[in-house]
Structure 1
Amino acid sequence: MKRTAKLALRNREALAAALDEFLPETGEVLELGSGTGEHAVFLAARFPALAWQPSDPDPEARASVRAWAKEARLPNLRPPLDLDLVAPAWRRRRAGAVLCVNVLHVTPPACAAALCGGAAEVLPAGGPLCVYGPFSHRGAPLAGRLARFDAELRAHDPALGVREVEALAEEAARAGLRLEAELELPAVEGDRLLVFRRGG
């Protein structure tokens, strides 16, 4: 069954424009936590020279991805895989780029370490890990939408919440990935694209 997320419509153009600078020209992009599949379909259409590999551990999410893909009929969009960030199976894959959109704030902190460690194994030297979502900076108080959103998440589960750029950069550095770029995208207040590169 095809699902929708309102934010996907708001941020997809800005996200695609930002990714254009960092994604390889050819090869595979492994998308982790594809959710509804709307980003996968939109980005696969925007980057036709890339093989787009969506994935999600939730069977309902994978069903939604398949429904969107069936409608879009894109030759470079692959069937969604059952991959979990904290499970080791996805680390055996190889991809020219890894993308993770709106996942880390709704998953336990261990997922950030798993994402960085796994990406370091999946990516070639110089390959990008692109992470999009709400982020804050260490020591800077949350305000506005970001503060409200963080409070809602933590009320649901104290382990969830808006993550700090610095905390993710530290996890990435431990895995051999360096923070190359931080872009604040205008579509959604507080959302950023962080781009890490695997060392040689």
Structure 2
Amino acid sequence: MDTLAALPDGAMASPASVRNAEPILAVLRAHLPKRGRVLEIAAGSGQHAVAFSTVLPGLEWTPSDPSPEARASITAWGAKAGLPNLQAPLALDCLDEATWPKAGFDAVVCINMIHISPWAATEGLMTLAERVLPRPGGLLYLYGPYREVEAPLAPSNEAFDASLKSRDPAWGLRDRDEVVALARSHGLTLTLRTDMPANNISLLFRRV
């Protein structure tokens, strides 16, 4: 779990966001379109939204989070950055379809949410992605730790999984193949799996 530090202006500082921004950006830069609209789910502190929209100026970046505190932090970081392509955060909750945007997007980005939420949130995420990625080729990007049949779980991830479940039994590392199968049932096909630092992986899905 990330340790957040509250700043005087309402922003939250996330050490994990700072550490993983560059590796994630390297993957996104290679696979996102040069221009288009991106919806970020569970944007947390908002540091990723600022970092990515800064170096990807052709993309209109819309962060979202169900937490009012997170949205306040996103707004504070956005105000400091003053980026024309960074949109105000949405109060989007994967468990509440009434909060979902009606407009279409070219990509959906979701970082470190699936293991810190109930499985129903992942089901909602896939339904949402199917809905807001109307065109073939639309991208869903997922980042985080997963269980994988072909690879033993790293001791650090085993301990992390136990810690998550001790906080909430509905949380925990998901089986990658179950996530892939759920995505496929919503018209999203896995096109890339790549290793990331600290025993995380990136999963890229395309709308068919």
Same fold judged by TM-score > 0.5?
yes
Q: How many residues align structurally?
A: 197
- CA distance in structure 2 between the aligned counterparts of 1:25 and 1:164, rounded to whole angstroms: 32
Which TM-score applies when normalising by structure 1? Answer: 0.95
C-alpha contact 2:154 2:199 (8 A) present in aligned 1? no
Indicate whether 1:175 and 2:194 are aligned: no
- CA distance in structure 1 between the aligned counterparts of 2:170 and 2:67, rounded to whole angstroms: 20
What is the 5 A alignment of 1:18-29? 18-29=27-38
Indicate whether 1:116 and 2:164 are aligned: no
- CA distance in structure 1 between the aligned counterparts of 2:149 and 2:162, rounded to whole angstroms: 17
C-alpha contact 1:91 1:119 (8 A) present in aligned 2? no
2:153 matched residue in structure 1: 142
| Structure 1 unmatched ranges of 5 or more | none
Question: CA offsets, 1:27-74, max 9 Å, x none?
Answer: 110001100000000000010000000011100000000000011111
C-alpha contact 1:51 1:77 (8 A) present in aligned 2? yes
- CA distance in structure 1 between the aligned counterparts of 2:56 and 2:110, rounded to whole angstroms: 16
Query: How many Å apart are 1:143 and its aligned residue?
Result: 2.5
Query: How many Å apart are 1:142 and its aligned residue?
Result: 2.2
What is the 5 A alignment of 1:92-131? 92-123=102-133, 124-131=135-142
Bigger drift between 97-106 and 20-29 goes to 20-29
Indicate whether 1:82 and 2:84 are aligned: no
Alignment equivalent of 1:72, drawn from 62, 75, 81: 81
Question: CA offsets, 1:125-149, max 9 Å, x none?
Answer: 1100001111120375422211111
- CA distance in structure 2 between the aligned counterparts of 1:100 and 1:21, rounded to whole angstroms: 17
Query: How many Å apart are 1:185 and its aligned residue?
Result: 1.1
User: Structure 1 vs Structure 2: percent identity of aligned residues?
Assistant: 41
| Structure 2 unmatched ranges of 5 or more | 1-9
Question: CA offsets, 1:65-98, max 9 Å, x none?
Answer: 0000011111100010111012113152310100
Which TM-score applies when normalising by structure 2? Answer: 0.91
1:59 matched residue in structure 2: 68
Bigger drift between 124-133 and 138-147 goes to 138-147
**Higher normalized contact order (CA 8 Å, seq sep 6+, divided by chain length):** 1
1:3 matched residue in structure 2: 12
